[in-house]
Structure 1
Amino acid sequence: MSDAPRIAFLAAATEVAQTARDRLVAMYGEAQPGEAHFIVALGGDGMMLETQHRFLGRNAQIYGMNRGSVGFLMNEYREEDLPARLAAAQAAQLHPLRMRAHSMDGKTHASLAVNEVSLLRQTRQTAKLRILVDGKERLPELICDGIIVATPAGSTAYNLSAHGPIVPLDANLLPLTPISAFRPRRWRGALLPSTARVVFEVLEAEKRPVSATADYTEVRDVRRVEVREDRSITMTMLFDPDRNLSERIISEQFTV
């Protein structure tokens, strides 16, 4: 048993996830997250995002098992042979987006996103946004419900539901996807290099208030939002060989 990996188990608040955690702790013991070789997250994709946020900057080895409703980022839940599964798991290394949102009250809010940064209108009025990429104006005015900048892993989440492109993990691209664009009507978004620094300026911010959200951290009444990939931070997700994340992202493009 001395060679057995130290595993920390974290579970969503649901009964099914908590029950799974109790069973796995009884089978494999439990280590504190700071002392564990692996962290096993039990729940859905939301639990994986929460766990990644909790350990951002530590490059923890995080392995998810699906005990929730959505499990694109999770492995199949099985209790047997967990140490062997962890040893055989393949790593997907990701980088988060860093958001700096400047609000109307003069404050600056910084946050990180594993999936996406989104700007959304707060009222019945559509948002008006000016878009700059690496300091160059690319769109002087976008009238829309909102806009998304996604990571490759997040390209299959909210970005996909807004009809944005799915991006392979190794493509070094960030999808920029409008939400219900009204003007210009034919603009469907862009694919940006992962090095791009994207700035959104909110036009008529008092009349047309906009919020900015990095995953689940929301800032209301923003006037300017800056987004870039933060390559100083690496996140590691572990997947069973038959659930390799790169392959799943490619396969998702052929799902009908």
Structure 2
Amino acid sequence: MRQPPKIHFAASRAEIAETAQRVLAARYGHVPEDEADVIVALGGDGFMLQTLHGTQHLPAPVYGMNRGTIGFLMNEYSENDLLDRLAAAEEEVINPLSMRAETRDSKIHEALAINEVSLLRAGPQAAKLRITVDGRVRMDELVCDGALVSTPAGSTAYNYSAHGPILPIGSDVLALTAMSAFRPRRWRGALLPKTAQVRFDVIEIDKRPVMADADSRSVRDVVSVEIKSEPSVEHRILFDPGHGLEERLIQEQFV
């Protein structure tokens, strides 16, 4: 008889998630994350991103159950039939973005982002950004509240709220989206190949400070930010059949 998988249950700090962790661990067993065959994340999308980042060095895939608000990256919560659901789950493999940000004090900050890397104005005036793609300046000056580069997996998050496009999960494309662009006023962004390397340079850094953010990990007073896809890092996410990222991305476009 096939042995059931060893499960590590991770929970956000929300009471509803911690309660679910206790109930599920008592029912299905619980092992340390480095001994697990699968990691079950209990919380919302933010906690799912946190779990993926925190376990990317481990071979175990992550199966999320929604104990948060939206739960785009999560499956529905149920205390029943978890082993059957894990056995039938479909796997999606996604690559994050890497961010390399230089600050005014010449320090370099590096981070990975599963959803997006964004630049945001950090003062009362709009940001001014120069955009370079693969070593070629594509826009000398973008005046805006901010700009971001999004993966397909993150295209329904901040990117979509900023009126960026929803990208099919299997597409080798990144979205470059402006937030409240003032000049050029009608510029809404660009679609770039997944291999593209994007650089933002901040213009008038003293007058118009800018912060960079990679999946909620923020760096203030940046002078330049370089962004590219990181194919050497793979995040394995499990979804119930028929409810994977591809289906959810399509579904989002008809609501």
TM-score bucket (shorter structure): over 0.9
Q: Distance in 1 between matches of 2:221 and 2:244?
A: 39
Answer whether contact 2:201 2:223 (CA < 8 A) is retained. Answer: yes
Q: Distance in 2 between matches of 1:31 and 1:155?
A: 34
One-letter code aligned to 1:193:
P
Q: Distance in 1 between matches of 2:133 and 2:97?
A: 15
- Cα offset, 1:4, TM superposition: 1.2
Give unpaired runs (5+ residues) of structure 1.
none
Q: Distance in 2 between matches of 1:59 and 1:83?
A: 19
Alignment of 1:1-256 (within 5 A): 3-255=3-255
One-letter code aligned to 1:12:
S
Q: Distance in 2 between matches of 1:168 and 1:2?
A: 36
Deviations 1:62-119 (A, max 9, x none): 0000001120100000111111100100001100000000000010000000111000
Give unpaired runs (5+ residues) of structure 2.
none
Q: Distance in 1 between matches of 2:187 and 2:56?
A: 34
Deviations 1:151-188 (A, max 9, x none): 11100000000000000111110000000000001111
SS of the aligned residue for 1:154 comes to: coil
SS of the aligned residue for 1:86 comes to: helix
- Cα offset, 1:242, TM superposition: 2.7
TM-score normalised by structure 2 residue count: 0.98
Q: Distance in 2 between matches of 1:244 and 1:2?
A: 26
Answer whether contact 2:119 2:211 (CA < 8 A) is retained. Answer: yes
SS of the aligned residue for 1:241 comes to: coil
Return closer, same or farther for 1:59/1:205 CA change in 2, 3 Å cut-off: farther
TM-score normalised by structure 1 residue count: 0.98
One-letter code aligned to 2:98:
R
Return closer, same or farther for 1:197/1:221 CA change in 2, 3 Å cut-off: same
CA RMSD of aligned residues (A): 1.0
Q: Across the two proteins, how many residue pairs are aligned to each other?
A: 255
Moved more, 58-67 or 75-84: 58-67
- Identity rate, percent: 57
- Cα offset, 1:58, TM superposition: 3.1
Moved more, 36-45 or 245-254: 245-254
Q: Distance in 2 between matches of 1:240 and 1:136?
A: 43
